[in-house]
Structure 1
Amino acid sequence: MDNRNLLLAFVLSVVLILGWEAGLRYFYPEAAITTQTPAKGKPADGATSAAAPAAAPGAGNLGGDAAVRPVDLKTALGGGNRVVIDTPRVTGSINLVGARIDDIELKDYRETVKKDSGPVHLFTPEGTPHQNFAEFGFVAGGQRQPSNALWQADGAKLTPSTPVTLSRTDANGLTYRVKFAIDADYMITATQSVTNAGAAPTVVQPFALIKRTSVVENAAPSVVHSGPIYSSDAVAAYDVSYACGWSLFSSCHDLTTDGTYSVKGNTDWVGFTDQYWFSALVPGSKNAGVEFRSLSGKLYRADVLYQPVTVGAGQTATQTTRLFAGAKESVLLDRYEDGGIAQFGAAISWGWFWFFEKPILWLLRHLNSLVGNFGFAIILLTVIIRGLMFPVAQKGFASMAAMKAVQPKMKEIQERFKDDKQRQQQEIMKLYKDEKVNPLSGCLPMLIQIPVFFALYKVLVLAIEMRHKPFILWIHDLSAPDPAHILNLFGLLDFTVPAGFLAIGPLAVLLGITMWLTFRLNPSAMDPVQQQMFAIMPWILMFVMAPFAAGLLLYWVTSNLLTVAQQSYLYSKHPQLKAANAAAEKQKAAKG
């Protein structure tokens, strides 16, 4: 029975990991994150109290962008005309040409696991290989102001205590200003204003955009949404992609094919996400026109275009937009959400099991604070989970012992009613009831582990707290596959082996061995086919699980070792199981 339980648990775990969310999104596209309730706290700056239209207008007035000649990063940042950005967590600069924030480095995160690698460069200027930037400007008289216009700054450095205002005046006497302020984390507030010093009124529309390439250095796993993302009160947040390709998601809007996608309803925020990084515009007015646009050369844009405002002679119009450009730290995103940005925490695609995954992450954080190592935190998490499930395991073993005790009566019933299957099943069920035996209770411990296993997998993939976190010896990143493989002689050869079917590292080998031990301790199956299946299953698991995150394999290996210890203890409490197992092994050896 328990062998079948282990097989069932494995199959269900793989189905959950690889296909659960894909299936849910296909059959229930509305199940993706949506904003159904007003955000807690105050509304975003500049938000109006009037009801917004059911479908906000698109941002088509911004049009497409002309092609730009490629340029390397060092050259792009070395041309001058820049205002330095310096905060406790961010460094970079604002480009005075075009009022663009196109240089953002994250001080707390390295590009690679190597200690001498540079910080993550999230925003880079237009024309660079991984261009990604935000621009703030105006549409005046129906024409978008030139993106190559030179602005003047009233300060040399943007810090949390020193905002900077950019300004320029056009030939019609309109003075445009963009005041940038930044907090101690990753949020920039841009206050755009236009003052009309001319004699005639002018219609003006402030806008903000994020423009980036779809090419990223490290592609996100298939279970993680990477690309356009937004939150509104009308539709799902994850239903737009750079290119849907072979995806079966019925709600997927392919930007490459469709060209544009207009966000309907009141938009909370809009931008782009990668596995760990996130850039988003938070409109200061809910009825802004919000649109995603596909450009040439694998370039994409998220546009926020505000409603036209007539600025009379001597008058000033103001609009505020916030820009988030940083890491997807769940605690920080939730804090911004509590401050009034609806569903901001949904930028991390936790999926349907967020209510289980977040407590797992919370517990891992606290365990890590105690032991100072996320690898040992995962081991402690495993011990805690198995400890909580120990009473359930005891009941499962007691049920198995009871099942062994009634097996002679079951065989008698099977022989007596071998020609009447229906009566046979009725008598067996009556036997279970009379003897107070539940044949399914042995499955419960394994079934309980499935959501834990899936939640830990999502946490390892999504939580930036796990990124580049080492364990011991050769494990330098618990969120990545085991770097030591058979193909590089377990790390002795200095080259990286792509994760795949042959990427068998020490953790995968330990997984196979410990799973084999758990199978050996379980009562043997009498069916020869089942015996052969259980004999090879640990080694199949070894290959299947090898490309998964090292932290996940560490959890499973620890769980297997605890299972061996637990089974040894419970066998001592139920000697009839141990005797039955020994007898089955003896009978199997005799047949062999």
Structure 2
Amino acid sequence: MRISMINCRYYGRLLLLFLLFFLYFYRFFSKKSIYISKKNSVFHEYIKNFSKISPDQEKSQLINVKTDVLSLDINLLGGNIECAELLNYKKSLNSSEFFTLLNNKKFFYKTNSGILVKKNSNHIGKNSKIFYFVSSVINKLKENQNKIKVCLTSREKNGISHKKVFILTRGSYAVEIKHYIFNRTNKTIDVVVFGELQQNPALIKSYNILQGLFNLQMFRGISYSTDANKYVKVSFNKLKDIVDVVVKTTQGWIAMQQQYFLTAWVPKFSSSYTIYLHKIFDYFISIGFLSDNKRIAPHSSYVTSSTIWIGPNLQKHISLLSKNTSCMMDYGWLWFISKPLFQLLSFFYNIFKNWGISIILITCFIKTMTYSLTKSQYLATIKIKTLQHKVEAIKEKFFNDTEKIHKEILLLYKNENINPLSGFMPTLIQMPIFLALYYVLISAIELRHAPFLWWIQDLSSYDPYFILPLLTGFSILGMQISNEVNQESLPDNKFLIFFSVLSSLFFLWFPAGLVLYYLVNNVVTIIQQHFIKKFFVNNIDKKYNT
């Protein structure tokens, strides 16, 4: 009875570690998801003829479009973006290479878009890519320009021509794509506008096995939004279980997400359209949209547009793309805590311009807000200790009646206004905050490669010299030693040493920012314990010792 009440805070911390371990390995044993397909003749005709991965038989030609933040390689055969470099982000911390999001050579991750001319009401034309012409193969945003437009034009074939215009804006990762379809025939034609994202996720692997094992994995996969569901996500880990999905909607978007970055496509049709998810092979996945049939009268044209985001998951900008796009900042099931934590972190960063200092300040803020709980926890533990002689007397009096002992001890605590479980409350509050901040630190692009001080040059990655995890282990031990309750029994002290060592090992591959949070949290806790001991514990000792 005594051990369970006095040490509930330590078992709470052990529970926190257990919970993290459970979350780490949950993904390996989680249930499989099956996605049901709906019949759609237009979609299946499209899949049959167009959604294929095969080498181009014709000679391709790449052109480059560059702004201050994006560098795109567009293939004139099909007019699709085949490579995208993010000029404000490096491949790794000390790399000279830019981060590549889309690529059709090193790995398969590309976009497709265009028009499909229907031969009749039930059939789409054969799979033949359009070759476009352009005035310049190198297009760069000039210093006095805010926007750059690149126009790709096809030759007229059977009286039908297509123009695809890419519009890029300074400082923006959103690319507007406009389709102009000209019908110069004497007949009405039917066309379908499409856009899709294709990837082979099996080709992108993590090379740091230990870091991957000791870190919760962020969502990596496909997501989309429709009228019926504002956010649906399908993990690449369940690729083998995916079957075709076809959804009709009037508004929505499609996306491929990974840690820090994403590609999202927002169609802008005046009527309904189809969003589909299709597994081409066992390890190739495609998600896209198809417009409804568009009838173009003789000697007239049709114009439509869409916006594709190719870049970092910047919360403020992503949320402005379309309805429900804010959901793409996936903080998991603790999003309602993670979002305000990030806003508070951003507030401190705007003042001090250092994310490490922001983490220290948010930790102090949280500890200040939960000080009353820390105080009640510490005082309750001290009161339980001072009443120990009365507890022993109860045990001696009712030594042969265990149930009576428990009732009398609980009655004693009730009369003294002591809640034995109060020592567990701060841990219960800390657990969701800890996990929510974890998701913020490993998902917020703002913290990627963000330096703190000296050897810590990336708060989103682990401490390269493991100094912070080691200090965290000492802080846990020091925090328990500062609590005089734990200085009585050798077994408890052995447990505390074991817990400190286990914590140090556990934090080795955690993001340095999260370890910094936990270290500062422990240091502030030690300071608060000494303050409480100095101003409140003496009064308790006088009360119960008289």
So what's the TM-score if we normalise by structure 2?
Answer: 0.84
- Which residue is equivalent to 1:230? 224
Is 2:182 aligned against 1:198? no
Q: Residues 187 and 325 of structure 1 are in contact (CA less than 8 Å); yes or no, is this contact kept in structure 2?
A: yes
- Which residue is equivalent to 2:112? 135
| 2:11 aligned partner, one-letter code | L
Distance 2:112 2:169 in 1: 19
- Which residue is equivalent to 2:8? 4
Q: Residues 232 and 265 of structure 1 are in contact (CA less than 8 Å); yes or no, is this contact kept in structure 2?
A: yes
Q: How far 1:553 sits from its partner (Å)? A: 1.0
Q: Residues 56 and 288 of structure 1 are in contact (CA less than 8 Å); yes or no, is this contact kept in structure 2?
A: no
- Which residue is equivalent to 2:478? 517
Residues 68 and 394 (structure 1), Cα distance of their counterparts in 2 relative to 1, 3 Å cut: same
Distance 1:366 1:182 in 2: 30
Match of 2:365 among 384, 387, 393: 384
Q: How far 1:112 sits from its partner (Å)? A: 0.7
- Which residue is equivalent to 1:414? 395
- Which residue is equivalent to 2:507? 545
Residues 471 and 2 (structure 1), Cα distance of their counterparts in 2 relative to 1, 3 Å cut: farther
Q: Residues 401 and 574 of structure 1 are in contact (CA less than 8 Å); yes or no, is this contact kept in structure 2?
A: no
Q: Residues 225 and 349 of structure 1 are in contact (CA less than 8 Å); yes or no, is this contact kept in structure 2?
A: yes
Match of 1:157 among 139, 144, 157: 139
Deviations 1:335-381 (A, max 9, x none): 33xxxx12101112112221211121122222223223212221222
Q: Secondary structure of 1:461's partner?
A: helix
Distance 2:20 2:505 in 1: 18
Is 2:447 aligned against 1:466? yes
- Which residue is equivalent to 2:66? 86
- Which residue is equivalent to 2:518? 556
| 1:180 aligned partner, one-letter code | F
- Which residue is equivalent to 1:186? 173
Distance 2:504 2:77 in 1: 55
- Which residue is equivalent to 2:235? 241
- Where in structure 1 are there 5+ consecutive unaligned residues? 31-53, 71-75, 245-253, 485-504, 581-592
Distance 1:208 1:399 in 2: 63
1:370-381 correspondence to structure 2 within 5 Å: 370-381=351-362
Q: Residues 404 and 577 of structure 1 are in contact (CA less than 8 Å); yes or no, is this contact kept in structure 2?
A: no
- Which residue is equivalent to 1:502? none
Distance 1:117 1:152 in 2: 33
Distance 2:319 2:326 in 1: 5
Q: How far 1:230 sits from its partner (Å)? A: 1.2
Q: How far 1:191 sits from its partner (Å)? A: 2.1
Q: Residues 81 and 96 of structure 1 are in contact (CA less than 8 Å); yes or no, is this contact kept in structure 2?
A: yes
Distance 1:393 1:417 in 2: 34
Is 2:23 aligned against 1:19? yes
Q: Secondary structure of 2:319's partner?
A: helix
Deviations 1:413-461 (A, max 9, x none): 2322333333333322322222222222232233222222112111111
- Which residue is equivalent to 1:110? 90
Q: How far 1:89 sits from its partner (Å)? A: 2.1
| 1:212 aligned partner, one-letter code | Q
- Which residue is equivalent to 2:319? 334
Q: How far 1:27 sits from its partner (Å)? A: 8.9
Q: Residues 164 and 179 of structure 1 are in contact (CA less than 8 Å); yes or no, is this contact kept in structure 2?
A: yes
The RMSD of aligned alpha carbons is 3.3
Deviations 1:487-508 (A, max 9, x none): xxxxxxxxxxxxxxxxxx2222
Residues 243 and 353 (structure 1), Cα distance of their counterparts in 2 relative to 1, 3 Å cut: closer
Distance 2:216 2:526 in 1: 34
Q: Secondary structure of 2:486's partner?
A: coil
Distance 1:377 1:257 in 2: 42
Residues 112 and 394 (structure 1), Cα distance of their counterparts in 2 relative to 1, 3 Å cut: same
Q: Residues 219 and 257 of structure 2 are in contact (CA less than 8 Å); yes or no, is this contact kept in structure 1?
A: yes
Residues 374 and 147 (structure 1), Cα distance of their counterparts in 2 relative to 1, 3 Å cut: farther
- Which residue is equivalent to 1:306? 291
Q: Name the count of aligned residue pairs.
A: 511
Bigger shift: residues 415-424 or 271-280: 415-424
Q: Secondary structure of 1:103's partner?
A: strand
Q: How far 1:216 sits from its partner (Å)? A: 2.6
- Which residue is equivalent to 1:123? 102
Q: How far 1:476 sits from its partner (Å)? A: 1.6
| 2:346 aligned partner, one-letter code | R
Deviations 1:116-167 (A, max 9, x none): 522212222x3x0223222221111234565543212367637553433322
Q: Residues 75 and 82 of structure 2 are in contact (CA less than 8 Å); yes or no, is this contact kept in structure 1?
A: yes
- Where in structure 2 are there 5+ consecutive unaligned residues? none
Distance 2:87 2:206 in 1: 19
Q: Secondary structure of 1:166's partner?
A: strand
Q: Residues 318 and 325 of structure 2 are in contact (CA less than 8 Å); yes or no, is this contact kept in structure 1?
A: yes
Q: Secondary structure of 2:110's partner?
A: strand
Q: How far 1:81 sits from its partner (Å)? A: 4.8
Distance 1:466 1:366 in 2: 14
Q: Secondary structure of 1:383's partner?
A: helix
